[in-house]
Amino acid sequence: LTGPSEVKGTWKGSATLPCVYVPVENFVQQTLMWMVVHDQSSGTVFRRDDSGDHVLLSEYRDRVSIPSDASGNVSLQILNLEMSDRGAYTCQVTWRASNNSLTSKEITTKLEVVKVPVTKPIIRAGELGLTVLAGARISLTCVASGSPPISYRWFRSTPGGSAQLLGSQAELAWDSPQPSDAGQYYCEAENR
């Protein structure tokens, strides 16, 4: 297992605690556990086994996830960081070998949560005058920096000045754009 010894996250932002291994033939991942030791308490944050994924500490519910598509990547992502999330996180993976014996490895990463000076969002301008082929999937992404959390809104401006709200995600995507989708689009980023 590999991962850094320390990760810094921004309060109210998100952090990823990397934990990665190279899959080996004849060794099947049996269980994955993420445990945490805080100043006052400790416990199991997350467990993945045959029965699925389980978030065991209520304060992490709906805030933690593990990639499910990448084999060997069992990194923990924590959203909406709280100051109380700081602590030592241990990633423990158990594999079953072809002879049914079990092998475990673990690594520990310290998570530090820091507050940053309050700043307004700054949007990085994208390409102007984008030309795409009809029917080819395209997306526009709004990239902003500043104090989290940042919310996004995409608009399409129509001649005559009215704006139509299209979405509230950082990305605006078309699976099959048509000539009628041509026009001017703009993004708005907002924080507290």
The pLDDT assigned to 29 comes to: 92
The pLDDT assigned to 13 comes to: 87
**pLDDT tens for each residue of 157-186:** 877 778 888 989 888 888 888 888 888 889
pLDDT band at 67; cut points 50, 70, 90: confident
Q: Please name each of the domains of the chain with its CATH number.
A: 6-114 (2.60.40.10), 122-191 (2.60.40.10)
pTM above 0.85, yes or no: no
Check: CB of residue 34 under 8 Å from CB of residue 86.
no
Whether residue 23 is predicted with pLDDT greater than 80 in this model: the reply is yes
Check: CB of residue 112 under 8 Å from CB of residue 96.
no
